[in-house]
Structure 1
Amino acid sequence: MAIVEVNFHSTCLNRMVTYKAIIPTEHPIKNQPFKTLYLLHGFTDNHTQWLMGSRIALLAEQARLAVIMPAGENSFYVDDERRGHLYGEFIGRELVEQTREMFHLSTKREDTFIAGLSMGGYGAVRNGLKYHETFSHIAGLSSAFILDRALNSTPHAESILERRSYFESIFGNLDELIGSDKDYKALIQKLKNEAVDIPQLYLACGTEDFLIEQNRDYRDFLKQEAIEFTYVESPGIHDWKFWDTYIEKVIEWLPL
C-alpha cells in the first residue's frame, strides 16, 4: 500500500489543489485496475482528516481498494459559478479523470464509488446523483441534509451554519434552492423521471447525532419515491467513533 499526496492545477477551481490517495501495491489479479472510492471530509476538515480519524488506510489495504480523499474547503462540494469555484464538477468529473490518468484505476462505473461524512455526506449524495453515470454506489454518514436550515437561516445568526450570508455564498439564491441540482430530493425525482440507473445508496446516522431527524426525513422521502437503498441507525453521535465504525460497513457493502 502507498499513501500519496498529489498537487495539481485544477481548471474547475482555478488553482492548485491537493488530495491524498491510498493505492494498494498489488491486485489479486495481475494487471487488473483497482476499484476506487472517492471519500469526502466534513465541515472545517481537509484531505488529511480521514487518515487521521479513521482506519481507512488499513481497511483499504485489506479490501484492495483505492481511496481518493480531496480537499473540499467548506464548500459543501457544490459549484460557485460567481467565483469560478466549481467543486461539484471537480469531484464528479475532473478529479476522477485526473486520478484515472495518474493511477491504475478502473474506468468502469460499477467499480467507482463515492462516500463522505457530514458535509461530505451531502457532497457524496449530491454529486453521486448528479454524476450518476460515473458513480454506481453512494454512501453518506451523518449526512448534512440541511437545506431546511439554509432556508430558515437569518442574517445575524451567531453560528456560521445558521447565517444566511454563508448559505447564500454556498448555494446562491436561496429562493431557487429547492428543485435545483443542489437539492438531493429533486435530483432523485429527476433521475426517476429520466428512467436512468440510480446509484445504490447507503445512509447511516447515530441516534444521538444532531442530524438524525434530517437523515430520517431523507429516509422517508426515499421510501416514498420507492428508491432502493440501505439505511442504518445505531447509538452514536457526530464523531469519529461512529464514522470509523461505519466506513468499515460501507466498504463491506461495496461490490468488491
Structure 2
Amino acid sequence: MAQLQLNFISECLMRTVPVNVIIPLDKIPLPGTPKRADKPFKTLYLLHGGYGNYTDWLTGTRIQRWAEERDLAVVMPSGDNKFYVDNLQNGDRYGEFIGRELVEFTRRMFPLSNLREDTYIAGLSMGGYGATVNGLKYSDTFGAIGSFSAGYILDDIIGDTELGQVAKFGPAFYEQTFGPRESLKGSDRDYEDLARRLVAAGKEFPALYIAVGTEDFLYKRVNEYCRYLESLGVSFTYEESAGGHEWDFWDRHLKRFLDWLPLEGGTAGLNSGNVR
C-alpha cells in the first residue's frame, strides 16, 4: 500500500494544505492470485473530527490494511476545526475545498475513478457532520456517505445549549466558523434542509450509512436526524452498538462501512504482515 503526504496550494483556502493519501498502486499479488485489472480506483474521502488533522485515521484505525484488501484509495485532508463548511464572511471555503477542489485535484494526480458510484465521503464527529452536508450538497459527486457519531448539533449551536458548547466550543467560535447563527437554518450548512431539498428536487439521494454508540453523548441527536430522514422517506442504513465517542467504536464501524460499500472483492497482497 502506497502512503503519501501531499502539500498543495488550495485556491479555496488560499494556503498550502496537507493531505494524506493511501492507494494500493504497489500491491503485489500473492502466488496464485490474479493481478488487479489496470483501471481507476474507487475512492473514499475521509474526514477527521474536532481537534484532529489529516493523520488521525491512519493512527486511530486500521484503514490502511482494509483499503489495501479492498483495492480502495483513501484521501484524508485536514479540516482545522472548521466543520468543513463555507463561510464567505471570513473567506473560508472548506466545503468547496472538500466537495470540489480536493476531488478534482486528486483525480488529476492519481488514477481515481471519476464516477459518482465509485466516489464516497465519510467522517466522524465534526467530520461526520462535514461528510453529511458536503455529501448532500455535492450529491452529483458522491455516491455514498458514511456518518460516524456525527455532530448533528445545529439547533444546539443556534440555541447556545450546553451540548452546543461541547469540546469548549462556544458562541464566538461558531460565529467565526459558520457565520451569524440566525443564517444557519435553511442554508447549505443545514443537514436537514439539504436532505429536504434533494428529495423535493427528485434527485438521487446518496446511499447513507449512519452509526453511533449507545453511550455517545450525541446518540440522541443522531437518532433525531434519522427520524427526520424517515419523515422525508429517505432510506438509509443505521447501526448502533455499545460504545462512546471513541476510536474503538469508529474503528469497528469504519470496517462495517467498508463492508457495506460496493467495493471490489480485493485480496491481501504481499506485505510485512502477510508473508507466506
TM-score, scaled relative to structure 2 = 0.89
Task: Kindly state the Cα deviation for residue 25 of structure 1 after the two structures are TM-superposed.
Answer: 1.8
Q: Which residue of structure 2 lines up, in the alignment, with residue 188 of structure 1?
A: 195
Rg larger in 1 or in 2? 2
Q: Which residue of structure 1 lines up, in the alignment, with residue 219 of structure 2?
A: 212
User: 2 CA distance for matches of 1:72 and 1:22?
Assistant: 18
1:109 and 2:116 are equivalent in the alignment:
yes
* 1:150/1:162 contact within 8 Å kept: no
Q: Which residue of structure 1 lines up, in the alignment, with residue 14 of structure 2?
A: 14
Q: Which residue of structure 2 lines up, in the alignment, with residue 4 of structure 1?
A: 4
1:169 and 2:176 are equivalent in the alignment:
yes
User: 2 CA distance for matches of 1:102 and 1:83?
Assistant: 30
Rate the CA distance shift 1:158–1:53 in 2: closer, same or farther, 3 A.
closer
Query: Secondary structure of 2:243's partner?
Result: coil
TM-score, scaled relative to structure 1 = 0.96
User: 2 CA distance for matches of 1:203 and 1:41?
Assistant: 16
1:91 and 2:98 are equivalent in the alignment:
yes
User: 2 CA distance for matches of 1:159 and 1:251?
Assistant: 29
Task: Kindly state the Cα deviation for residue 145 of structure 1 after the two structures are TM-superposed.
Answer: 0.3
Task: Please report the RMSD computed on the Cα atoms of aligned residues, expressed in angstroms.
Answer: 1.5
1:50 and 2:57 are equivalent in the alignment:
yes
Task: Kindly state the Cα deviation for residue 5 of structure 1 after the two structures are TM-superposed.
Answer: 0.2
1:75 and 2:67 are equivalent in the alignment:
no
* 2:83/2:126 contact within 8 Å kept: yes
Q: Which residue of structure 1 lines up, in the alignment, with residue 31 of structure 2?
A: none
Task: Kindly state the Cα deviation for residue 26 of structure 1 after the two structures are TM-superposed.
Answer: 5.4
The residue type paired with residue 17 of structure 2 is: V
Rate the CA distance shift 1:79–1:110 in 2: closer, same or farther, 3 A.
same
The residue type paired with residue 14 of structure 2 is: N
* 1:160/1:166 contact within 8 Å kept: no
The residue type paired with residue 223 of structure 1 is: E
Query: Secondary structure of 1:242's partner?
Result: helix
The residue type paired with residue 25 of structure 1 is: L
List per-residue Cα deviations over 1:156-194 (Å, max 9, x = no partner): x98664521111111111112111110000001101111
User: 1 CA distance for matches of 2:199 and 2:236?
Assistant: 14
List per-residue Cα deviations over 1:1-34 (Å, max 9, x = no partner): 1010000000000000010000012585422100
* 1:37/1:68 contact within 8 Å kept: yes
User: 2 CA distance for matches of 1:158 and 1:17?
Assistant: 28
The residue type paired with residue 16 of structure 1 is: T
Identity of aligned residues (%): 50
User: 2 CA distance for matches of 1:158 and 1:128?
Assistant: 25
* 2:2/2:26 contact within 8 Å kept: no
Structure 1 portions without partners, runs of 5+: none
Query: Secondary structure of 2:133's partner?
Result: helix
Q: 1:144 aligns with which of 151, 173, 180?
A: 151
Q: Which aligned segments of 4 or more residues in structure 1 are displaced greater than 4 angstroms? A: 157-162
* 1:8/1:18 contact within 8 Å kept: yes
* 1:149/1:162 contact within 8 Å kept: no
Task: Report the count of equivalent residues.
Answer: 254
User: 2 CA distance for matches of 1:136 and 1:72?
Assistant: 21
User: 1 CA distance for matches of 2:166 and 2:245?
Assistant: 17
Q: Which residue of structure 1 lines up, in the alignment, with residue 204 of structure 2?
A: 197
Q: Which residue of structure 2 lines up, in the alignment, with residue 33 of structure 1?
A: 40
Q: Which has the higher contact order (CA 8 A, sep 6+)?
A: 2
* 1:78/1:86 contact within 8 Å kept: yes
The residue type paired with residue 254 of structure 1 is: L
